[in-house]
Amino acid sequence: MPERSIPKEAAYQIIHDELLLDGNPRLNLASFVTTWMEPECDQLILEAMNKNYVDMDEYPITTELQNRCVNMIAHLFNAPVDEAETAVGVGTVGSSEAIMLAGLAFKKRWQNKRKAEGKPYDKPNIVTGANVQVCWEKFARYFEVELKEVKVREGYYVMDPAKAVEMVDENTICITAILGSTYNGEFEDVKLLNNLLDQNNKRTGWDTPIHVDAASGGFVAPFLSPELVWDFRLPLVKSINVSGHKYGLVYAGVGWVVWRSKEDLPEELIFHINYVGADQPTFTLNFSKGSSQIIAQYYQFLRMGFEGYKNVMQNCMESARQLREGLDRTGSFNIISKEKGIPLVAFAFKDKNKQGLAYKLSKALRHHGWIIPAYNMPPNAEHVTILRVVVREDFGRQLVEKLLSHVKNALNELVDAPAIPRITFTIDVKPGKFIKGDGDEHGGVLHLPRASVYWKQEKPEIVHKEISILMEDQKTKGVC
């Protein structure tokens, strides 16, 4: 901390100037998180900046607005609640906090049941796809739950419901399905999962439930695909999380989790605060937080309504289609995202020997200001390197055209670059391993002190000694 104070104008200018070197949020196509809101809402956010959300006694109206948001979301997800009943749910800082809470509820519920049956309750697990977002790994580690991941494969990048049900055992606290895979935006088949799991439950006598991680898709599917059955219409779906700051169209800092009914949220996890004479149940990890994001979410619901959200999502889909078709026309890419799903375009170089070019393309586009990440798919499709463009409300047709022309320019430059030998590898960070190799000249596993590299020889002239491992700029985790 500096010894002396400086004038406020100087402090402002110094920080303002330094921040110019950050990327431009509007051109950050790596992120689902909202980067534009209407000035009227910006105004409300500023007005609420000094309100601590946790002071419910002092700010009862803010609490009321959060409760209304929970109710609207529960109805949007078809929770079985009457008009007179209040839905069970809570506003959080984002889907990560929402997921910690939902996971804890499953763990507690499972433990209570096991205790009552006199069975061991110290080895809980969750079954998910390997395409799961990193916050589930965080949940697993922080709250001591084993994460059992269903591997993906080339051409099929989401959780296979049949394989997921096969992995369930008596210690499984829930299966998590993802509505809008982070990697390619694809919706997992929750309906099929529900049916297969229901059969499994009947056969085994367990009652394994489902959680839907609808962080990105929860505000897309209800507007664009109301016929798609993925939510509380399925009896085994007990809780759903959604990020208000993704397609909920609010700036970073708001998420939601809703439960099917009171029975699905164990009472011992709820804290009851008495506010203005009424009982306000709370269930969050943090105590203090801002109120602005909750108010901004309420603004969006009130201002846009179902119609407004539907229009925005349709527009995003249209921009995504335009981008997908433009990329397809270059002839260089395979499109990895689906036409139905989150409005994003994920694509990989067609040529298997040019997968590594994705990182170079990402870098080349950065020179034009675009932030577009390249990353490897999860196990067992890690040899596929994709680029992902998230289409948000503020990424209009003009910008799509501009991006396409920059991609074409960059492609011309990259084609002249020397070919990169292809190597497929997974970095498995397990400290304590030693350098050794196995396999023959056609493939095997190379064990490094902090990593295992699976390698495969593609062509006779490329021997493994010449293979350079392209680790630079890789980003597989923390993609949000």
Ligand X SMILES: *Cc1c(COP(=O)(O)O)cnc(C)c1O
Tokens coding 332: 């260089």
* Span of 90-98, 138-146, 319-327, 333-341 interacting with ligand X by CB under 6 A: 90-98
Q: Is 249 helix (H, G, I), strand (E, B) or coil?
A: coil
CB 273 within 8 A of CB 56: yes
Q: Is 255 in the site for ligand X (CB under 6 A)?
A: yes
Is the CB of residue 389 less than 8 Å from the CB of residue 356? no
Q: In what helix (H) or strand (E) does residue 241 lie, and over which residues does it extend?
A: strand 237-243
Instruction: For the chain, give the number of residues.
Output: 480
Residue 297 in contact with ligand X, rule: CB under 6 A: no
Q: Are 20 and 12 in contact (CB under 8 A)?
A: no
Residue with tokens 């395409």: 131
Residue 133 sits in the site that holds ligand X (CB under 6 A): yes
245 DSSP 8-state letter: T
Of 182, 239, 319, 337, the one binding ligand X by CB under 6 A: 182
Contact predicate 279/233, CB 8 Å: no
Pairing of β 172-178 and β 88-92: unpaired
Please give the Cα distance from 268 to 270 (Å, whole number): 6
Contact with ligand X (CB under 6 A) among 186, 213, 231, 382 = 213
Check binding of 319 to ligand X (CB under 6 A): no
Residues 29-48 that bind ligand X (CB under 6 A): 32
Q: How far is the CB of 257 from ligand X (least distance, A)?
A: 11
Between residues 216 and 376, which has the closer beta carbon with respect to ligand X? 216
Instruction: Tell me which amino acid residue 135 is.
Output: C
Q: Least Å distance between CB 364 and ligand X?
A: 26
CB 348 within 8 Å of CB 334: yes
Diameter of the chain by CA atoms? 78
Helix (H, G, I), strand (E, B) or coil at 257: strand
Element (H, E) at 374: strand 374-376
Name 26's Cβ contacts closer than 8 Å, sequence gap at least 6.
Answer: 35, 36, 394, 395
Cβ of residue 134: shortest distance to ligand X, in angstroms? Answer: 8
Q: Does 186 bind ligand X (CB under 6 A)?
A: no
- Does position 96 interact with ligand X (CB under 6 A)? The reply is yes
CB of 437 to ligand X, least distance (A): 36
The bridge status of strand 436-437 relative to strand 443-448 is: antiparallel
Give the Å distances, CA to CA, from 390 to 115, 251, 339, 372, 378: 45, 16, 13, 9, 19
Residue 195 CB, nearest distance to ligand X (Å)? 22
Residue 198 CA to residue 207 CA, distance in Å, equals: 8
Candidates 215, 372, 391, 400; binder of ligand X (CB under 6 A) is 215
240 lies in the binding site for ligand X (CB under 6 A) = no
Distance (Å) of CA 272 to CA 246, 277, 284, 285, 478 = 30, 12, 12, 14, 34
Q: Is 171 in the site for ligand X (CB under 6 A)?
A: no
Question: H or E segment at 444?
Answer: strand 443-448
Smaller CB separation from ligand X, 467 or 480 = 480
Under the criterion CB under 6 A, does residue 376 sit at the interface with ligand X? no
Question: Does the footprint of ligand X cover residue 95 (CB under 6 A)?
Answer: yes
CB of 313 or CB of 446, closer to ligand X: 313
In DSSP terms, 177 is beta-bridged to: 212
- Assess 178 for contact with ligand X (CB under 6 A): yes
* Of 89-97, 285-293, 328-336, 403-411: span binding ligand X (CB under 6 A): 89-97
Our CB check for ligand X shows the closer of 178 and 361 to be 178
Residue 65 touches ligand X, criterion: CB under 6 A: no
Per CB under 6 A, the segment of 73-81, 212-220, 314-322, 425-433 that binds ligand X is 212-220
Return the number of the residue (252 or 404) whose C-beta is nearest ligand X.
252
Give residue for tokens 């586009």.
Answer: 365
Kindly state the number of chain residues that form the binding site for ligand X, as judged by CB under 6 A.
Answer: 14
Interface residue with ligand X, options 127, 135, 158, 312 (CB under 6 A): 135
Composition of the chain by helix, strand, coil, percent to 5:
35, 20, 45
Q: Judged by CB under 6 A, which stretch of 59-67, 71-79, 157-165, 208-216 contacts ligand X?
A: 208-216
Judged by CB under 6 A, the residue of 216, 292, 362, 385 near ligand X is 216
Specify the residue, 181 or 424, whose C-beta has the smaller distance to ligand X: 181
In whole angstroms, give the CA distance from residue 357 to residue 350.
11
Residue closer to ligand X (CB basis): 114 or 392 = 392
243 interacts with ligand X by CB under 6 A: yes
The stretch near ligand X (CB under 6 A) out of 37-45, 93-101, 117-125, 394-402 is 93-101
Cβ proximity to ligand X: between 32 and 454 the closer is 32
Q: If binding is defined by CB under 6 A, does position 480 make contact with ligand X?
A: yes
**423 near ligand X (CB under 6 A):** no
Site of interaction with ligand X (CB under 6 A): 32, 94-96, 133, 135, 178, 182, 213, 215-216, 243, 255, 480
